[in-house]
Amino acid sequence: MSEVVLSERLQERIKTLISRYPEGKQKSALITILHEVQNENDDYLTTDLMDKIAEILSIKPIEVYEVATFYSMYNHKPVGKYMLEFCRTSCCATRKAEDMMEYTCQKLGVKEGEVTPDGLFSVRGVECLGACGYAPMLQLGDFYHEFLTKEKIDQLIEDCRAGKVELISKV
């Protein structure tokens, strides 16, 4: 394992998160810590980072891997600044989610999981995002984009390129 050095800010943040739980229950902070570590590492987790988290929490690395690979919000390789996550579960699937995703991949010139050469976009299929009544839909950052059409996707990509798309909710 290569030596992983977390920033002081992150180390302090992790200490605070762990302190919210009773002695011996530090693992409860795992999901939030994974988010914080991912955010500070260009939006993806490496094995070394996950091992470091296991060390900090005094748990086995497999306990970190299990969680980090279960949830689609954790990335394990570099992703684009704008990660377009298409739901492709039942309701979205019946309303042409696959077509929307394929259209987007073709438009951007990438396959699922790849990053555009300019580092701006990635496309990924995910499981139900709980907005079934608004199918087909995608998630971009903290926001949902619903009732997708090719025209809406064109506009969204154009807005991303123009730097007009917020990724983080201020609420």
Write out the residues near ligand FES by the rule CB under 6 A.
Answer: 87, 89-92, 128-132, 135, 137
CB 56 within 8 A of CB 9: no
The two tokens of residue 77 are 């390789």
Of all helices (H) and strands (E), which one includes residue 125? strand 121-126
If the CB atoms of residues 59 and 132 are measured against ligand FES, the closer one turns out to be 132
In whole angstroms, the minimum distance from the beta carbon of 130 to ligand FES comes to 6
In whole angstroms, the minimum distance from the beta carbon of 151 to ligand FES comes to 20
In whole angstroms, the minimum distance from the beta carbon of 95 to ligand FES comes to 8
**Long-range residue pairs from 40-44, CB within 8 A, at least 24 positions apart, any chain:** 40/6, 40/7, 40/10, 42/78, 43/75, 43/78, 43/79, 43/83, 44/75, 44/76, 44/77, 44/78, 44/79
Can you tell me which residue has the tokens 């025209």?
A: 151
If the CB atoms of residues 48 and 127 are measured against ligand FES, the closer one turns out to be 127
If the CB atoms of residues 26 and 139 are measured against ligand FES, the closer one turns out to be 139
Among residues 119, 108, 109, 118, which one has the least CA distance to residue 156?
A: 108
Residues found in the chain: 171
If the CB atoms of residues 54 and 138 are measured against ligand FES, the closer one turns out to be 138
In whole angstroms, the minimum distance from the beta carbon of 25 to ligand FES comes to 32
The two tokens of residue 86 are 């298409």
In whole angstroms, the minimum distance from the beta carbon of 90 to ligand FES comes to 5
If the CB atoms of residues 24 and 133 are measured against ligand FES, the closer one turns out to be 133
